[in-house]
Structure 1
Amino acid sequence: MPTIDLAPFHLAVKNGYFQAEGLTVEASTAPSGPASVAKMVAGEVDVAYSSYTPFFQAKSQNAADIKLVADASSAGPKSTMVLAMPGSAVRTIQDMPGKRVAVTARGTISDLMTMATMKAAGVDYQGIQWINIPFPDMAPRLQRGDVDAAFMTEPYITGTIKTIGAVPVFDTAAGPTADFPTAGFGATAKFVAENPKTVAAFQRVMAKATAEAADRSKIEPLLVEFAKVDKETAAAATLLTFRSTLDAANVQRVPDLMLQFGAIPGRVDVAAMIVKP
């Protein structure tokens, strides 16, 4: 997917880190996290990158025995925000109740972080009119007036501000969702059990590439190439926090929030899903 948090993966591919570990990697494109997880469950791919919510939805519904093999990112300040047009009815978080808000899908990081931030601010989130729109289509729909506001991540935040003059309304990575885990890499329990050395090698590669991704100069060219943004947007974008090592207590925040807002039917134990390095 054309997202910023895959930059360490692309860095690892370009620099030959997978080959150095004896791994041959074939990247497969998926339009969304749920589609990526579905490919993994169907056996079309061995490892899936996705926002965390589809992993936990599949696990809670017993659709698959999923294991988490590496972290990818967490939301840093101003890396996940709600935007609106200058003339929109939404100017502050208090204006959100009852409005039309674009998200990628319900029960995802998009609406969960938005609702959690609104709840923490004492704002009614239950009357929101959620409208499912892919990130690349949000800016024109926002400009056209199809929605009053939109939840976006980078590089779409910077690109939307630059191209249509949208303005940030509020940061969703604050309060209860500060440093909130956003995405990671998973595999089926069957693949992990049958290929422990492969999984361990994958983890080593991602740890090395993630450490190297702290150098922003190595990341910006990858945003231009893979996230399909211009150099100016890549330079201005607020980066997510790259991570590779899975912290069970931190990632547990995701299914706990999903349970709180009714996105999954029961509690998911993250610690039992993590493949330790």
Structure 2
Amino acid sequence: MFTTSLKALFIAIVVASLAAVPVLAQSDRPFRLIVTHLEPPLVPNSVMDLAVTLGYFEREGVDVELVRVQQTPSALAALQAGEGEMANIGVDALLLAYASGADDLRAVTSPNTSLPFLIASKDNIADVADLAGARFGVGRIGSIDHSLSNLVLTELGGDLDASQVVSLGQPNVRAQALIAGQIDATTLSIGTWASLPDITGLHILVEAADYYAAAPLVNKVNVVPQTVLDTRFDEVVAVVRALIRISRDMADDPKKWVEAMERVLPGTDRALLEGLAPRFATSWAVNGGMSAQDLRQTSTWMQQTEDFSAISVPPLADWADFRAVDAALATLGIEDGLDRADR
């Protein structure tokens, strides 16, 4: 999610980078996947990292190299400058980029369609109705996370407008503010919540499953420039196929995720990982995470938010390309029960 300054920086970078001619990697060079985390995250999105360490990409015949950056604007700038072939970014970032002129970007898969979010609060807030008058932390007023929290609470019978909404920035800052008693509630990922050192006096007000049920929106997608689709399509398919395979393996046996994360994050408490794994049961993108219905619903909802009030969101066919995921599923088949493969 963007802060106001990051949004301005992001648009400036995208517009400037459009003047450059992307330098495309050749098929005998690594396929570079840009991610916006510096180490494997404690969410299903970690399959991108684990597919490297566990050899899933290698077995599909593609040499994937992770390029780590700290924020979405940097990921998009790197992608546009030819420093990577694919990037994992938010759908909001993709649509903002498209509106800024980067109309050659295409979403091709989503290894974790919706990060598992929950609403955490002080113990004295027993249900969403108790948030009236309480201090609720958001990234900033009008941001996507603010709008998403408002949608969830409305669906669950609450009213965020009745709360004192406080702009605090990134989730880790909001988490620390909650611990310090500076706010009464906020939205966090499961991983952020589980990694808090002390949750005395706090509890989960809205569980992740209920949060997603109230707002079944696609949070992140993997995007590639059209030129990469044109010149390295087989490798794009191989990357998508590897991500689907590892997602299915983790969904079938959560212990595999625990053991793999222990390997890449040796200092992480195993009990923490074992507690997280069951909560991801419905989060694995076993069919590539590209439900056309969910993507349309996401873009339609975003069009109604403050960040997109002056931006025309393009139709799905302009920014999503289903060919790679459909080619992967032609080999692997479709699994029922989790993400839909509707078109």
TM interval, short-chain normalised: 0.7 to 0.9
Residue in 2 that maps onto 1:270: 316
Query: In the alignment, is residue 157 of structure 1 matched against residue 200 of structure 2?
Result: no
Instruction: Name which of 198, 212, 218 aligns with 2:249.
Output: 212
Pairwise mapping of residues 192-231 of structure 1 onto structure 2 (< 5 A)? 192-214=229-251, 215-224=253-262, 225-226=264-265, 229-231=268-270
Residue in 2 that maps onto 1:116: 151
CA separation in 2, counterparts of 1:209 and 1:70? 14
- The total of aligned residue pairs comes to 271
For the Cα contact (< 8 Å) 1:51–1:109, is it kept in 2?
no
CA separation in 2, counterparts of 1:34 and 1:45? 14
Query: In the alignment, is residue 170 of structure 1 matched against residue 206 of structure 2?
Result: yes
CA separation in 1, counterparts of 2:274 and 2:128? 28
Residue in 1 that maps onto 2:109: 70
Q: Deviations over 1:139-186 (max 9, x none)?
A: 3221112322221112122233x62232112246255414x3222211
Residue in 1 that maps onto 2:65: 26
Shift of 1:233: 1.3
Q: 1:107 to 1:233 in 2, by over 3 A?
A: farther
CA separation in 1, counterparts of 2:81 and 2:131? 39
Shift of 1:204: 1.7
Extract unaligned runs of 5+ from structure 2.
1-36, 325-343
Residue in 2 that maps onto 1:248: 292
Over the matched positions of the two proteins, sequence identity in percent amounts to 17
Extract unaligned runs of 5+ from structure 1.
none
CA separation in 2, counterparts of 1:72 and 1:212? 13
> Considering only aligned residues, what root-mean-square deviation do their CA atoms show, in Å?
2.9
Query: In the alignment, is residue 84 of structure 1 matched against residue 126 of structure 2?
Result: no
CA separation in 2, counterparts of 1:103 and 1:169? 16
For the Cα contact (< 8 Å) 1:54–1:108, is it kept in 2?
no
Query: In the alignment, is residue 8 of structure 1 matched against residue 8 of structure 2?
Result: no
Residue in 2 that maps onto 1:236: 275
Q: Which has the higher contact order (CA 8 A, sep 6+)?
A: 1
Query: In the alignment, is residue 135 of structure 1 matched against residue 171 of structure 2?
Result: yes
TM-score normalised to the size of structure 1?
Answer: 0.83
Query: In the alignment, is residue 260 of structure 1 matched against residue 304 of structure 2?
Result: yes
Residue in 2 that maps onto 1:51: 90
